[in-house]
């Protein structure tokens, strides 16, 4: 796992001499600029340089100096070694098909928390979309970018998954007449029986704008939606092929898949290449307590 950082500032002449001697992948110009580095010796040197104790009247850091952790990338070896994976659904094409952008929570769920706004419990009613989705050949699994934790797929794919893993399907309704779609279904993915153990894991920080992880009313936890670490393990080990986390990450629950499920997708050509870095986040193994 390598962490990736950005450095931003209004760079001065005195910064350029230092920065441009580091072998960054771009030449830094005077003025407002940003550069990206992986966790490395270069990163350490930049941090060290701008963390020195300054002399009086001499500013160590340029105006607007900001260093941010952008995310992490995992190696093929780390992906091979993991037993569980969190999947990102980036197809995102489904946004155009919503019948209504604002009311999904009350339409699908019986209860929504008045404090944190997250739905409580399981989805009770099917999605109503404006029209059927035609691009399923390209994207066997589709969802909403950054929202919900829903997986839709072609009925033939869903049948295959149901046969192999016992994952049931929920119908999808189309248009004002709420006609049942013939080729699009939603996978009914069970909630994990266990919480995640985020102790010592960078995923365990609050979602941007929230002060707390835990909602005082509904007791649900909401973490950052950034990828900052290995995906946290469940509190206990259990058998699964695909489950939804009990926790929220921003406005969605994440899916956790077994290696068997990933391999099945690859073998059945549900994905053209094996799930590569950037698409799946390997889960760290359960800590024995």
Residues contributing to the site for Zn ion (CB under 5 A): 113, 115-116, 215, 217-218
- CB burial string 148-185: b at 16+ within 10 A, e below: bbbbbbbbebbebbbeebebebbebbbeeeeeebeebb
**CB-nearer residue toward Zn ion: 115 or 285:** 115
Rounded to a whole number of angstroms, the minimum distance from the CB of residue 217 to Zn ion is 5
CB of 219 to Zn ion, least distance (A): 7
Computed from CA positions of residues 232, 90, 73, 20, in that sequence, does the dihedral angle turn out positive or negative?
Answer: negative
252 DSSP 8-state letter: B
- Collapsed DSSP state (helix, strand, coil) of residue 258: strand
Instruction: Render 4-50 in DSSP notation, one character per residue.
Output: EEEEEEEE-HHHHHHHTTS--SSPPPSEEEEEEEESSHHHHHHHHHT
Minimum CB separation of residue 103 from Zn ion in Å reads: 18
Counting Cβ atoms within 10 Å, is residue 69 exposed (0-12), middle (13-18) or buried (19+)?
middle
The distance of closest approach from Cβ of residue 204 to Zn ion in the complex, given in angstroms and rounded to an integer, is 18
CA distances from 38 to 62, 72, 157, 220, 242 (A): 21, 9, 38, 33, 31
Q: Using the minimum distance from each CB to Zn ion, give the nearer residue, 117 or 278.
A: 117
Least CB distance to Zn ion at residue 24 (A): 44
Three-class secondary structure assignment of 106-169: HHHCCEECCCCCCEECCCCCCCEECCCCCCCCCCCEECCCCCECCCEEEHHHHHHHHHHHCCEE
Q: Which is nearer to Zn ion, 118 or 139 (CB)?
A: 118
**Is the CB of 147 or the CB of 160 nearer to Zn ion?**
147
CB 171, min distance to Zn ion, A: 29
Between residues 47 and 217, which has the closer beta carbon with respect to Zn ion?
Answer: 217
Question: 89 or 218, CB closer to Zn ion?
Answer: 218
Q: Rounded to the nearest whole angstrom, what is the least distance from the CB of residue 15 to Zn ion in the complex?
A: 45
Residue number, 180 or 217, with CB nearest to Zn ion: 217
Which residue, 26, 73, 68, 23, is CA-closest to 47? 68
DSSP annotation of 93: G
| Residue nearer to Zn ion on the CB measure, 191 or 217 | 217
Decide if 206 contacts 215 (C-beta within 8 A). Answer: no
Is residue 184 within 8 A of residue 154, CB to CB? The reply is: yes
Shortest approach of Zn ion to residue 255 CB, angstroms? 21
């Amino acid at each position: 796992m390598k962490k990736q950082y950005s450095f931003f500032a209004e760079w001065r002449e005195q910064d350029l001499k230092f920065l441009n001697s580091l072998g960054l992948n771009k030449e830094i110009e005077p003025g407002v600029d940003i550069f990206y580095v992986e966790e490395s010796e270069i990163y350490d040197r930049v941090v060290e340089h701008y963390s020195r104790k300054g002399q009086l009247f001499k500013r160590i850091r340029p105006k607007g100096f900001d260093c941010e952790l952008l995310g992490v990338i995992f190696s093929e070896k780390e992906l091979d070694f993991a037993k569980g994976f969190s999947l990102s659904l980036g197809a995102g094409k489904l946004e155009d098909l919503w019948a209504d952008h604002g009311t999904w929570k009350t339409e699908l769920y019986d209860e929504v928390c008045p404090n944190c706004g997250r739905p409580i419990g399981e989805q009770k009613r099917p999605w109503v979309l404006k029209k059927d989705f035609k691009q399923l050949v390209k994207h066997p699994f589709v969802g909403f970018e950054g929202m919900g934790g829903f997986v839709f797929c072609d009925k033939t794919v869903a049948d295959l998954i149901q046969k192999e893993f016992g994952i049931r399907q929920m119908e999808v309704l189309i248009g004002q007449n709420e006609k049942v779609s013939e080729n699009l279904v939603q996978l009914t993915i069970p909630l994990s029986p266990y919480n995640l153990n985020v102790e010592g894991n960078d995923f365990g920080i609050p979602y941007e704008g929230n002060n707390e992880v835990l909602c005082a009313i509904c007791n649900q936890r909401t973490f950052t939606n950034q990828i900052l670490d290995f995906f946290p393990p469940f509190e206990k080990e259990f058998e699964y092929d695909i489950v939804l986390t009990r926790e929220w990450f921003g406005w969605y629950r994440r899916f956790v898949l077994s290696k068997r499920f990933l391999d099945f997708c690859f073998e059945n050509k549900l994905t053209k290449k094996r799930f590569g870095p950037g698409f799946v986040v390997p889960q760290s193994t359960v800590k024995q307590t």
